[in-house]
Amino acid sequence: MLVPLIMTDENLISLIDEALGQAKIVGVFTQKDPAETAPGPDGLYRIGCAMLIQKMARFPDGHIRIIGQGLARIEAVDFIGDPPMMRAAVRHIEEREGNRRKARAMMLNVVNAFARVVDASESYPDELKGVIAGVRKPGRLADLVAANINTGIAEKQAALEMIDPFKRLDHVYGLLSGELEIARMGEKIRQDVRHEMDREQREYYLRQQIKAIQKELGENDTAVEIEDLKKSIDSKEMPDEARATVEREWSRLSRMSPGSAEYTVARTYIDWILDLPWLEHSKDSLDIRKARRILNRDHYDLEHVKERILEYLSVRKLKKDSRGSILCLTGPPGVGKTSLGMSIASALGRKFVRISLGGIRDEAEIRGHRRTYIGALPGRIIQGIRNAGSSNPVFMLDEIDKLGKDFRGDPASALLEVLDPQQNDSFEDNYINTPYDLSAVMFITTANIPDTIPPALLDRMEVIELPGYITAEKVKIARKYLFPRQIEENGIPASKLEVTDDALRMIVERYTREAGVRNLERKISALARKAARKLVEGSRGPWKVSSRNLETWLGAAGYPDQQMLMRPESGVATGMAKTAAGGVILFVEALGMKGGGGVKLTGQLGDVMKESAQAAMSYVRANLAEEMEDENFFENSDFHLHIPSGAVPKDGPSAGVAIAVSLASLATGKKIRNNIAMTGEITLTGKVLPVGAIRDKVIAAHRAGIREVILPSSNRKDLDDIPAGIRKDIKFDFIDTVDKGISIALAGNGGKAGRRNAKR
């Protein structure tokens, strides 16, 4: 057989040049790994072909083209030399002869099978059938078929290595059978496709006939619907880019069959585009006095938050296109974060939209799903904008600190673009797939704890902290807002039920324990419901709820009063802490017992608080040796540090001063004053560092009857946040070092208290 070959490898070209200078014969062998550049003897099949170089042409880029003629099968017996210029001793493989009748029968089967393959497949020219039919030798026929059939190198090599012509014919017949099966499957697929196309064309023709009949009958049809949709697109105000997108989608829709699944998808997409308020917006009410009245009407106190809102309105009045910052209202539950957003919308005269982000873990909830998915929808941002019907609503993202993330993406990362006034003018939802301008939207986020908000997201927001309410404030809120609302919601005449301020104060202090007023309103609602039942059962009233009869209305109080210690004690210091329900006081109890210097920490302490305890222990051991009665007190004692309540997790560094004072009390034998509370983080060098939530902590101490508080000097600035009435009642001691705090907290010259044992 004559075969054209192109050579680009320099080594092969050198080999051809050498062969042309001699007998013009080379040995041709197939390599086992096609990716190998210079295979050695082990990388070649041993059975190959002797080839005579008939013609050779050289091209300017260096490659050559040759025409080679196969002469005979050869086997490489022994290789001489290393690659790439290898020589080998070869053995000429003679063609065997066999039974002519058997050869004729097998050849006929192969020729017929090859003809069927050529007829069934489009990849073989018809001329091959004549060439194959004219071959008279069985080996020659097998070789020719194996060379022209669409099969792999391994199958062709296997045919080359078969010396027996009958085995070779049998091998080739098997390859033809497989190729014929593939050709039949391909033909079946083509027929199915052709049948499906014919069916769709027939359906299209029938639908056109139905349209014509419906038109004659005057009935509505899809064409009318398409035209109405085009009128809606033409009359809708939208940016040019959005208009180009929706018109392109309408053009596709008009050419679709109404029965196809794509028709519904395209129609739903167009409806979403038309429903969005691209250029519609509410007119801002920029009356500052009116806004102040609305904010004061809906919320008690929160002056710094109200001032920030009024500043925003003032800037909008002076500069219409200003892009304000994103507000993040943080604070404990029930202090009015969500309702404040509604008041802001009312003051601005805008629509209000609220979505809760708590527990969202899928990024598609923010950016939407792509239209390729079944049941795809836009994200919650675009859905909220559509529900508002305005492009500039007040948009509240509630509970942003409770976002999660998993394998479906990070919703917080998707919000980075939404909450950036410099970027959100071209927000692109995956479903809408067209930029939407969010720059006119006033975004307000809420969070209980800003610590869990990702730093990159928190950096885009202006954090405004809403502190918890004190008892006096809660009583006023209950009197002004909660009680009238519950009386109205439960259908009770205002003259039938009266609740005294003492009763409200008792509900706040004994029946609820929270920073906000949510549970307080529930308790007031319980009073209203009981009054409603009395009215329905025939009682006339009126009823007066006071501190004396409150227990008959609400049952026993759920929370005991949090009071300071009755007397000074050894090893018990009064600390202050901030919880989700506001500030509380906590007692740091230290106990010494015989042992070897071990320390046991209990009370569900977190890692940071445990480290504070270790730092306090190290400082006291290193610096109070002169004041200790027993020099070996720490070496001969074990210490147990406990902070009630044991079921409540506690963490943070602010208990460092209280822990140091309790340990110093054990070491010196002096009692700790019971009328003093303390907070502050300590270092190993004895410095006292500032802590947070001073307002809540001081209020909690005041509520417990404490009238002296030890604070870090760096927290002096935080006194401005404390109500004036409480500031007036409390003496504040500011300290820079632990020594000063210990000297203030320990009892004076009243004598030594002795070691504190397990009995108190």
Joined together, the tokens standing for residue 312 give 């925003």
Query: Minimal CA–CA distance to 641: which of 605, 682, 602?
Result: 602
Residue 417's SS3 state is helix
DSSP letters, 204-242, are: HHHHHHHHHHHHHHT---HHHHHHHHHHHHHHS---HHH
DSSP letters, 559-620, are: S------SS-BTTEEEEEEEETTEEEEEEEEEEEEESSS-EEEESSB-HHHHHHHHHHHHHH
CA–chain centroid gap for 404, Å, is 6
DSSP letters, 424-454, are: GGGEE-TTT-SEE--TT-EEEEEES-GGGS-
Could you confirm whether 356 is annotated as catalytic?
Answer: no
Could you confirm whether 697 is annotated as catalytic?
Answer: yes
Strands 64-80 and 47-58 turn out to be: antiparallel
d(CA 391, CA 238): 11
- 522, 600, 643, 758 from 591: Cα distances, Å: 42, 10, 11, 7
Per the residue annotation, which of 346, 391, 654, 662 is the catalytic one? 654
Instruction: Tokens 């390859």: give the residue.
Output: 175
d(CA 729, CA 725): 7
Burial (CB < 10 A; 0-12, 13-18, 19+), residue 104, is exposed
Count other Cβ atoms within 10 Å, centred on residue 429.
Answer: 24
Within 13 Å, how many C-alpha atoms sit on residue 137's CB side? 9
- 121, 369, 705, 707, 712 from 674: Cα distances, Å: 100, 61, 10, 10, 19
DSSP letters, 340-381, are: HHHHHHHHHT--EEEEE-TT---THHHH---TTSTT----HH
d(CA 738, CA 342): 47
d(CA 12, CA 5): 11
d(CA 385, CA 369): 17
436 beta partners: 427
d(CA 238, CA 279): 6
Is the distance from CB of 97 to CB of 159 less than 8 angstroms? no
- Give Cβ neighbours of residue 255 (< 8 Å, ≥ 6 apart): none
Query: Minimal CA–CA distance to 464: which of 697, 297, 308?
Result: 308
Is the distance from CB of 507 to CB of 519 less than 8 angstroms? no
Within 13 Å, how many C-alpha atoms sit on residue 46's CB side? 12
Active site residues per annotation: 654, 697
